[in-house]
Amino acid sequence: MDRRRTDGGIGPQRPDDGPVRAVPRHVACVMDGNGRWAQRRSLPRTAGHRAAEATVIDIIETARTAGVEWLSLYAFSTENWSRPDSEVAFLMRLVRRVVRKHAPLLLARGIRCRFLGVADPRIPRELARDFDDLTTLTAGSRGMTLTVAFDHGGRQDIVAAARSLILSSTPAEKVSEELFAEHLPFPDTPDVDLVIRTSGEQRISNFMLWQVAYAEWVFPEVLWPDFRAADFLSCLHTYRRRDRRFGGVPATTNGDRSR
């Protein structure tokens, strides 16, 4: 008989599973591998970006259903401006189409949408306006919060927070981690619990540097356009089996320390 977990988990409970953690509150995804997906099929890189749309919607739906409260997607970095102009222009058009196409679904699912970054003047005015419109449209939603990092750089955010503290004339002795975090974009964002980077690459790539300080990382080999619900749930299961100690010692079991 397939007994379902009663601890907020996913999938059947097996006798050898042992104790598991709760579903991560905040999951972040580095959506990597679009170009290689296209290259392996002798297609232009733009075909990989286009194919990624289905994955984005699938993962948003899966995360929400699994009980993830915050989902952050790394869509475009400050470094991505160095890509060929034709590819950048295609991405801008594609993202605008995706935002407009799926806005009704996001609203219906009760998903609050926000965009992290969006500061470079090279971003088309129409796209920036669509970001603002979707943010306003879903501001009252009380379900999962979806943060799309677009024109984002973690170092840039930290520098901006430091400048904000200086401009506020905050004395050096008053600066704490908590106060610093309040000057970051979207200071209500909780620390990331799990980062998933697809395609097997193992780099941070300047992504939410402050928020991922204590995150668990999973690096599935599958390329982003092929990443689906089952892959995402597998990553959640991997996270839930890990022992997060935050610099402490393992939990005590039967009077002994785990090794």
131-143 residue pLDDT tens: 999 999 999 999 9
Active site residues: 32, 80
pLDDT at 243: 76
In the three-class reduction of DSSP (H, G, I as helix; E, B as strand; rest coil), residue 152 is classed as strand
Alpha-carbon distance of 154 to 182, in angstroms, equals: 15
Pairing of strands 252-253, 256-257: antiparallel
Alpha helix positions (H), the chain: 34-40, 45-66, 85-108, 125-137, 154-167, 177-182, 229-240
pLDDT in tens, 52-78: 999 999 999 999 999 999 999 999 999
Structural domain boundaries of the chain?
26-152+191-242
Per the annotation, where are the binding residues for Mg(2+)? Answer: 32, 216
Sheet holding 216-218, edge to edge: 112-117, 145-152, 70-77, 26-30, 194-197, 216-218
Q: 116: alpha, beta or left, given left = phi > 0 and alpha = psi -120 to 50?
A: beta
Mean pLDDT in residue range 104-120: 97
CATH class of domain segment(s) 26-152+191-242: alpha beta
pLDDT in tens, 138-185: 999 999 999 999 999 999 999 999 999 999 999 999 999 999 999 999
Per the annotation, where are the binding residues? Answer: 32-37, 45, 49, 77-79, 81, 83, 197, 203-205, 216
Percent of the chain scored above 90 by pLDDT? 85
